[in-house]
Amino acid sequence: MGVLARILEEAGIATVGLSLVRRQAENIRAPRFLHGEFPLGRPLGKPGDVEFQLDVIRRAFSLLERTDVPVIEDHPEIIDDEADQAATCTLPPRHDPALHPAVDEAQGLRSAYNRQLERSGGRTAVGRVADPDQIGDVILKFVTLADTASMEAAGFDSDTVRAAGQDIRAYYEEAGLALSDHVPAARQLESWFYQQTQTGPIIRAAALALEAAGEDRNTWYYMLPGNQQG
């Protein structure tokens, strides 16, 4: 980003960036940064809060006039990460006792996922390797992975296992948005997924099984956030 910003500046185009990690912004030394002490993944601070987001954008754009670069200004409000408190999302009752509990749970979340999909205008993070209709099948692969620590037995390779885990988590967290009566604080849906669903612990068990089996760190590390490994 810093290199691109400098190229644009040399062409006469002023640039400004949004920072969530101040030390990283300092190292990049791009001409202008507005730094926010906000949770990672939320560069505008508060989802659904139009006024707050506009304030962030206005403060960032106001830096375009600065010529005493490089400059980093801090947004005055700090927003804490609240991953230690899971979101309150009531899971629908299970329907089919013949299914694996996690698969039954995921199927029960489909209507909530569809509601959120409609609210978002069709935007979803699901679809890296599986669509919503395939989530149950992918969950069963993770059950096998957790039991065997064998990607071959589960039908994965190092690329697809990460992407599949991201698809499952995105499916759950998007459904969770529809089940919650407010916009959850940062990372609360993450904690809900890993701590209060049937599927989250399976993803955790699969990641830890791969770690114990000596698989490459990049294979399992991004399946399980550090604060969810306990």
The SS3 assignment for 161 reads helix
Residue 139 lies in a domain: yes
> 48 with 117, same domain?
no
> 170 with 218, same domain?
yes
- Look up the pTM and report it: 0.71
Assess whether pLDDT exceeds 80 at residue 67. yes
Distance between CA 106 and CA 130 in Å, rounded?
Answer: 14
> 153 with 224, same domain?
yes
Residue 91 lies in a domain: no
Write down the residue that tokens 């200004």 correspond to: 73
Residue 70 lies in a domain: yes
> 120 with 224, same domain?
yes
pLDDT tens-digit readout, 86-105: 556 677 777 788 999 999 99
pLDDT tens-digit readout, 20-64: 888 888 888 889 999 999 877 788 988 778 899 999 999 999 999
User: Which domain range does residue 32 map to?
Assistant: 2-74
> 107 with 217, same domain?
yes
pLDDT tens-digit readout, 115-142: 999 988 999 999 999 999 999 999 999 9
> 110 with 32, same domain?
no
Number of domains in the chain: 2
Beta bridge partners of 34: 18, 73
